[in-house]
């Protein structure tokens, strides 16, 4: 028998208009071809793609889509390029609030290999922008999905409409999937790396080096600006558990790395006049406990992660640091998680634990740089996953 295993994801999020331009470009309508290059964690010979309009309030029309392997020179290999179909049709209209699954595709992709997904949108829609993480090539007003090399294209940072990819594996050797639930620190903001998206890719590489073909898949469920219990950017972690975590085929472990945006955004007023409430230790702990209850009901093991320091950032206040330290103490000592990853210990400044170490700081005192993302990936004890 065979089954499906989640191997890659980019959690859906609606466009936001209150983020400063220097962090995230203002969402604008577009049409034409978008091409994304995606790195899978587990390989296979058969794939299925998930496309999302779950955050949209209008129907989303996909005119055509393709998938193939990159050729190493900025294009695609001709013998792997193929159309993505939906019930054998080249296009589909996705109703607002809905996802769709593609037909199954025969395409051999190696573990840690990359695929190129191109989607043609004949009608304008407004995609969610990203913090420089999900980069795409955009050719306005043209269907170029079958082009091995795109004509001159704009380079933009937008979350892809393909939000998950699964590979088919033999049930006798299915290794299972680790889903990493987080915010921009997991999504990859600050890294600006061509080698990897975030610490989750580093973890996938380390597992592959240790376990070879038996390595677990690693799925990134990060959304920049996401919160554990608040709705800053994207649905709160508690609201998107079913969609982004438990729906992942083959999930065995959940790594929770959320909460710093609940603390950091508290008390601040955005350009829309919304003042976010101050997070409390008790409120965040209640949120973590709900994740634990819901995950264990599905047989999923939950691994907690300590929150990184952020002194010096625009969001810092001494009273917020008290909450962060209390939450981290609870994560480390409560015993409610199956295991704990101490990300704070890996990246904090030894002389001032309320700050990121300078060598890991991207410049905003909150987001790890490329070296910091590598350090996060290296801080994960592989013995947590057996």
Task: For 44-82, give the DSSP string.
Answer: EEEEEEEEEETT-SS-EEE-EEEEE-B-SSSSB-TTT-E
pLDDT score for 131: 85
Helix (H, G, I), strand (E, B) or coil at 230: coil
Tokens of 225: 């600006």
pLDDT score for 77: 97
Do 145 and 189 have their domain in common?
no
Tokens of 208: 């592959």
Do 287 and 202 have their domain in common?
yes
- Closest to 158 (Cα-Cα) out of 257, 31, 281, 24: 24
Q: Regarding predicted confidence, which is higher, 98 or 21?
A: 98
Mean of all residue pLDDT scores within the chain:
95
Taking the model in full, what pTM does it have? Answer: 0.96
Do 145 and 248 have their domain in common?
no
Q: Are strands 251-257 and 301-305 parallel, antiparallel or unpaired?
A: parallel
Domain final position from 115, 132, 165: 165
Tokens of 298: 């599905």
Give the model's confidence band at 271: pLDDT under 50 very low, under 70 low, under 90 confident, else very high.
Answer: low
* Cβ–Cβ under 8 Å, residues 33 and 138: yes
Q: What is the CATH number of the domain that holds 183?
A: 3.40.50.1110
Domain final position from 165, 196, 227: 165
Give the model's confidence band at 100: pLDDT under 50 very low, under 70 low, under 90 confident, else very high.
Answer: very high
- Rounded to whole angstroms, how far apart are CA atoms 65 and 328? 44
Judge whether residue 137 has pLDDT over 70: yes
Do 142 and 190 have their domain in common?
no
Give the model's confidence band at 108: pLDDT under 50 very low, under 70 low, under 90 confident, else very high.
Answer: very high
- Rounded to whole angstroms, how far apart are CA atoms 211 and 208? 5
Do 313 and 183 have their domain in common?
yes
Do 154 and 200 have their domain in common?
no
Do 319 and 220 have their domain in common?
yes
- Rounded to whole angstroms, how far apart are CA atoms 325 and 217? 31
Tokens of 155: 């380079």
pLDDT score for 363: 94
pLDDT digits (tens, 9 = 90+) for 207-250: 999 999 899 999 999 999 999 999 999 999 999 999 999 999 99
Judge whether residue 173 has pLDDT over 80: no
Judge whether residue 350 has pLDDT over 90: yes
* Cβ–Cβ under 8 Å, residues 124 and 31: yes
Report the share of the chain in percent with pLDDT over 70.
99
Is residue 350 assigned to a domain?
yes
Tokens of 192: 């600006």
Do 249 and 373 have their domain in common?
yes
- Rounded to whole angstroms, how far apart are CA atoms 92 and 101? 10
Domain final position from 117, 144, 165: 165
Give the model's confidence band at 153: pLDDT under 50 very low, under 70 low, under 90 confident, else very high.
Answer: confident
- In this structure, how many other beta carbons lie within 10 angstroms of the beta carbon of residue 272? 8
- In this structure, how many other beta carbons lie within 10 angstroms of the beta carbon of residue 157? 16
Report the share of the chain in percent with pLDDT over 90.
87
Sheet holding 30-39, edge to edge: 82-83, 64-68, 114-125, 30-39, 135-139, 154-157
Percent helix, percent strand, percent coil in the chain, to nearest 5: 25, 30, 45
Do 189 and 144 have their domain in common?
no
Give the model's confidence band at 23: pLDDT under 50 very low, under 70 low, under 90 confident, else very high.
Answer: confident
For the ranges 194-198, 332-336, 343-347, which has the lowest average pLDDT? 194-198
pLDDT score for 192: 74
Could you tell me which residues are beta bridge partners of residue 255?
Answer: 180, 303
- Closest to 59 (Cα-Cα) out of 138, 125, 142: 125
Q: Which domain holds residue 103?
A: 2-165
Do 119 and 192 have their domain in common?
no
Q: Maximum Cα–Cα distance for the chain, whole Å?
A: 61
What is the number of structural domains in the chain?
A: 2
Do 329 and 371 have their domain in common?
yes
Do 378 and 280 have their domain in common?
yes
* Cβ–Cβ under 8 Å, residues 12 and 52: yes
Measure the CA angle with vertex 226, ends 222 and 230; round to 5°.
145
Is residue 170 assigned to a domain?
no
- Closest to 92 (Cα-Cα) out of 82, 104, 100: 100
Judge whether residue 168 has pLDDT over 90: yes
Task: Enumerate the H helices of the chain as residue ranges.
Answer: 184-187, 199-211, 237-240, 260-265, 281-296, 318-333, 343-347, 370-379
């Amino acid at each position: 028998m065979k089954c499906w295993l989640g191997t890659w994801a980019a959690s859906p999020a609606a466009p936001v208009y209150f983020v400063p331009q220097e962090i995230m470009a203002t969402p604008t309508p577009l049409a034409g071809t978008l091409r994304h290059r995606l790195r899978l964690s587990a390989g296979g010979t058969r794939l299925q793609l998930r496309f999302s309009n779950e955050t949209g309030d209008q129907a989303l029309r996909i005119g055509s889509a393709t998938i193939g392997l990159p050729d190493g020179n900025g294009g695609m290999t001709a013998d792997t390029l193929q159309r993505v179909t939906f019930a054998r049709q080249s296009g589909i209209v996705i109703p607002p609030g809905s996802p769709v699954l593609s037909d199954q595709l025969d395409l051999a992709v190696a573990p840690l290999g990359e695929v190129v997904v191109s989607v043609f949108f004949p009608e304008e829609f407004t995609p969610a922008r990203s913090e420089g993480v999900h980069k795409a090539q955009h050719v306005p007003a043209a269907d170029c999905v079958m082009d091995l090399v795109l004509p001159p294209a704009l380079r933009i940072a937008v979350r892809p409409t393909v939000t998950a990819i699964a590979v088919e594996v033999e049930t006798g050797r299915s290794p299972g999937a680790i889903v990493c639930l987080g915010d921009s620190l997991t999504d990859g903001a600050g890294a600006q790396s061509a080698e990897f998206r975030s610490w989750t890719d580093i973890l996938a590489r380390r597992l592959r080096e240790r376990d070879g073909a038996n390595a677990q898949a690693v799925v990134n469920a990060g959304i920049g600006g996401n919160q554990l219990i608040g709705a800053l950017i994207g649905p709160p972690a508690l609201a998107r558990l079913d969609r982004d975590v438990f729906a992942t085929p083959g999930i065995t472990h959940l790594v929770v790395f959320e909460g710093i945006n609940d603390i950091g955004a508290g008390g601040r007023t955005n350009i829309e006049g919304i003042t976010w409430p101050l997070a409390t230790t008790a409120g965040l702990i209640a949120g973590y406990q709900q994740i634990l209850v819901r995950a264990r009901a599905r047989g999923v093991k939950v691994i907690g992660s300590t929150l990184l320091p952020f002194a010096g950032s625009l969001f810092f206040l001494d009273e917020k640091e008290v909450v962060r330290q209390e939450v981290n103490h609870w994560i480390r000592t409560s015993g409610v998680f199956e295991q704990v990853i101490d990300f704070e210990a890996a990246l904090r400044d030894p002389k001032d634990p309320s700050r990121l170490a300078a060598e890991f700081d991207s410049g905003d005192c909150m987001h790890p740089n490329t070296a910091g993302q590598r350090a996060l990936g290296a801080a994960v004890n592989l013995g947590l996953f057996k």
